[in-house]
């Protein structure tokens, strides 16, 4: 983990830095730096440097004396107060940040509390590489940043503490998500959850296939049938004495080949990421526990592989889910909803939650509709939908609510079972409606389809972690 230090701006010069990042507005140096020893050289560079007024414009220079810093990066914040200064600063720093061991960043006055966590979360994001299985690292792959010094005249200890909590939990999430299917199975995912639980004081147990067969969890078992790896229903429990119980249920498919309805081989390897919903649930419990949220959180991961074999579920098979409802499996690639159906039913029966959130890389259809930057959301309570949308906005994460349009409910009916596991079109909506069939209508519910946003070219993104925590924090008051 990164070493984070804070220091007053008048101490610049006392710590030896490899890089110092200084934001400027127009041609003026921040007030806090007016008294500093290097003010003159700053003014000089501001006058001559190729720094435009455009936010994000930057100049790197090497002070001749190299007294306390080898490099100074001037970053233009621009005069428009609405632009997000943290993004501007971080874009400008770009690759510079990982190249040096010690970097200092001056936080502009008035924005310290907002900027510090954002800068840190960006720094953590940048510091994460999945190198568990690299036996040799090129110089360019090496991450050199060890110490980040934030120069601030406001106290930002709490903000930093919190940013570290998020940083660590997101690291767990990304580490797990990156692991390919031969390194992460439902069993080892359960072990990973247990480890996080031990370190963060929440209890973790899991149901194995024998337990699930006894309970009649035909949904998750139908998905796992084709695989030699045992499925697990991972149950995490934080702060059971609190008044309000929130169940958070994640899709934990450690590999989704599609099963007998097999996927095309192009990009199939990415389906190792089909457990990111589950990993997000672990991260959320880890953060909730570190921040001592006054809620009872039940985290459930429906973990399984989805593979074809002589034992696999075949299209047309009918299975009985834990809720008692029967499902005709028309497409074995629509497996996420099958495992979640049992997770939802288990949560309702055993924990009586006041609120249910599920998070899943559920449909290719949501990627078609909203692309890779917007999470698809659904909910059965318009007030909660609104509040959650607000929470995501506050966190800078983009979501769009799609309709739980019951006009399509007919499409997921079957003539030979209670439900069919696919509809006829509007794939993301059909999947949400399918899940809705298992929700006790009295319980407010949010469904997040992160198929498009859970990972990008750099790997897992940790999407929705901040938003969910931010939203949960508002719940005890209501």
- Which residues does the annotation mark as catalytic? 263, 337
Pick from 298, 260, 259, 270: which is nearest to 282 by CA? 298
Among Mn ion, Zn ion, ligand BES, none, the one that 437 touches (CB under a kind-dependent 5 to 8 A) is none
CA distance 446 to 239: 21
CA torsion sign, 234 to 220 to 369 to 408? negative
Residues 173, 178: Cα–Cα separation, whole Å: 9
Task: Say how far apart CA 13 and CA 151 lie, in whole Å.
Answer: 11
What whole-number distance in Å separates Cα of residue 56 and Cα of residue 254? Answer: 40
x/- track of binding to Zn ion for residues 252-291 (CB under 5 A):
-x--x-----------------x-----------------
437 binds Zn ion (CB under 5 A): no
Q: Tell me if 417 contacts ligand BES by CB under 6 A.
A: no
Q: Which two tokens stand for residue 441?
A: 């209508």
Dihedral angle of Cα 359, 279, 205, 203, to the nearest 10 degrees:
-100
User: Considering the complex, what minimum distance in angstroms separates the CB of residue 46 from ligand BES?
Assistant: 47
Residues within window 194-253 making contact with Zn ion, judged by CB under 5 A: 253
Q: Work out how close the CB of 251 gets to Zn ion at its nearest, in angstroms, rounded to a whole number.
A: 7
Q: Which stretch binds Mn ion (CB under 5 A): 13-21, 132-140, 331-339, 458-466?
A: 331-339
Q: Which residues does 68 contact at the CB level (< 8 Å), separation at least 6?
A: 12, 13, 14, 15, 16, 17
CB of 404 to ligand BES, least distance (A): 17
Contact range with Zn ion by CB under 5 A, out of 194-202, 328-336, 434-442, 462-470: 328-336
Going by C-alpha positions, the residue among 5, 43, 2 that lies closest to residue 24 is: 43
Q: Which two tokens stand for residue 227?
A: 């695989």
CA atoms of 364 and 264, how far apart (whole Å): 13
Q: Residues 149-178: x/- map of binding to Zn ion (CB under 5 A)?
A: ------------------------------
For the chain, what percentages of helix, strand and coil (3-state, to nearest 5) are there? Answer: 40, 20, 40
Sequence-distant (6+) residues with CB within 8 A of 148 are 2, 3, 4, 5, 103, 104, 105, 120, 123
147 binds, among Mn ion, ligand BES, Zn ion, none (CB under 5 to 8 A by kind): none
Q: How many residues does the chain have?
A: 478
Stretch touching Zn ion by CB under 5 A, among 285-293, 332-340, 445-453, 460-468: 332-340
Tell which positions 316-345 bind ligand BES, by CB under 6 A: 331, 333-336
Minimum distance, C-beta of residue 274 to ligand BES, in the bound complex (Å):
5
* Contact with ligand BES (CB under 6 A) among 245, 365, 385, 467: 365
- DSSP class per residue in 277-288: HHHHHHHHHHHH
Pick the closer one to ligand BES by CB: 33 or 338: 338
Q: Which does 162 bind (CB under 5 to 8 A by kind): Mn ion, ligand BES, Zn ion, none?
A: none
Closer of 217 and 451 to Mn ion (Cβ)? 451
* CB of residue 430 to ligand BES, shortest distance in Å: 7
**What string marks each residue from 259 to 288 as x (binds ligand BES by CB under 6 A) or -?**
---------------x--------------
289 touches 202 (CB < 8 A): yes
- Please list every residue from 237 through 266 that binds Mn ion, using CB under 5 A: 256
Candidates 52-60, 210-218, 294-302, 359-367: pick the segment binding ligand BES (CB under 6 A). 359-367
Structure token pair of residue 367: 């990627």
Least distance (Å) from ligand BES to the CB of residue 333?
A: 4
CA separation (Å) from 26 to 29, 34, 105, 166, 169? 8, 15, 18, 34, 38
> Which of 228/270 has CB closer to ligand BES?
270
Q: Which does 363 bind (CB under 5 to 8 A by kind): Mn ion, Zn ion, ligand BES, none?
A: ligand BES
**Binding of ligand BES at residue 414 (CB under 6 A)?**
no
Query: Sign of dihedral through CA atoms 285, 289, 290, 291?
Result: positive
CB of 364 vs ligand BES, minimal distance in Å: 3
In sequence order, what are the beta bridge partners of 299? 236, 248
Say how far apart CA 376 and CA 339 lie, in whole Å: 19
Residue ranges binding Zn ion (CB under 5 A): 253, 256, 274, 336
Residue ranges binding ligand BES (CB under 6 A): 256, 274, 331, 333-336, 361-365, 367, 422, 427, 451
Residue ranges binding Mn ion (CB under 5 A): 256, 333, 335
């Amino acid at each position: 983990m990164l070493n984070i230090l804070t220091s007053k701006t008048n101490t610049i010069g006392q710590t030896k830095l490899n890089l110092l990042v200084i934001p400027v507005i127009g041609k003026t140096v921040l007030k806090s730096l007016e008294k500093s020893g290097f003010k003159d050289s700053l003014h000089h560079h501001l006058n001559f440097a190729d720094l435009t007024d455009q936010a994000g414009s930057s100049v790197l220079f090497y002070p001749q004396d190299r007294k306390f810093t080898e490099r100074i990066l001037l970053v233009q914040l621009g005069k428009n107060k609405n632009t997000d200064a943290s993004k501007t600063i971080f874009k400008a720093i770009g690759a510079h940040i990982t190249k040096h061991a010690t970097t200092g960043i001056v936080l502009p006055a008035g924005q310290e509390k907002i900027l510090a966590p954002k800068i840190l979360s960006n720094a953590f994001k940048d510091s994460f590489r999945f190198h568990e299985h690299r036996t040799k690292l090129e110089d360019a792959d090496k991450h050199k940043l060890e110490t980040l010094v934030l120069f601030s005249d406001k106290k930002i200890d709490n903000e930093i503490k919190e940013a570290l909590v998020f940083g660590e939990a997101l690291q767990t999430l990304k580490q797990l998500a990156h692991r390919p299917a031969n390194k992460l199975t439902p069993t080892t995912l359960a072990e990973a959850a247990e480890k996080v639980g031990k370190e963060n004081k929440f209890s973790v147990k899991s149901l194995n296939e024998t337990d699930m067969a006894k309970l009649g969890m035909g949904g998750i078992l139908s998905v796992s049938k084709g695989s030699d790896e045992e499925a697990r229903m991972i149950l995490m429990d934080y702060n059971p004495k609190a008044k309000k119980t929130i169940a958070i249920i994640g899709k934990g498919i450690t590999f989704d080949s599609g099963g007998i309805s097999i996927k095309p081989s192009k990009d199939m390897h990415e389906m190792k990421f089909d457990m990111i919903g589950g990993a997000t649930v672990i991260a959320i419990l880890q953060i909730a526990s570190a921040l001592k949220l006054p809620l009872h959180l039940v985290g459930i991961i429906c973990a399984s592989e989805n593979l074809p074999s002589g034992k696999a579920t075949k299209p047309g098979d009918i299975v009985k889910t834990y809720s008692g409802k029967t499902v005709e499996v028309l497409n074995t690639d629509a497996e996420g909803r099958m495992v979640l159906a049992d997770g939802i039913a288990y949560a309702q029966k055993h924990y009586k939650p006041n609120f249910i959130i599920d998070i899943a890389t559920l449909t290719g259809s949501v990627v078609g509709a909203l692309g890779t930057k917007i999470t698809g959301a659904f909910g059965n309570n318009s007030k909660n939908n609104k509040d959650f949308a607000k929470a995501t906005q506050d966190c800078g994460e983009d979501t769009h609510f799609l309709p739980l349009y019951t006009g399509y409910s007919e499409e997921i009916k079957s003539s030979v079972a209670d439900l069919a596991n696919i509809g006829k079109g509007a794939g993301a909506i059909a999947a949400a409606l399918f899940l809705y069939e298992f929700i006790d209508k009295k319980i407010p519910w949010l469904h997040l389809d992160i198929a498009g946003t859970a990972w990008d070219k750099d790997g897992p993104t940790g999407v929705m972690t901040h938003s969910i925590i931010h939203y949960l924090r508002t719940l005890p008051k209501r």
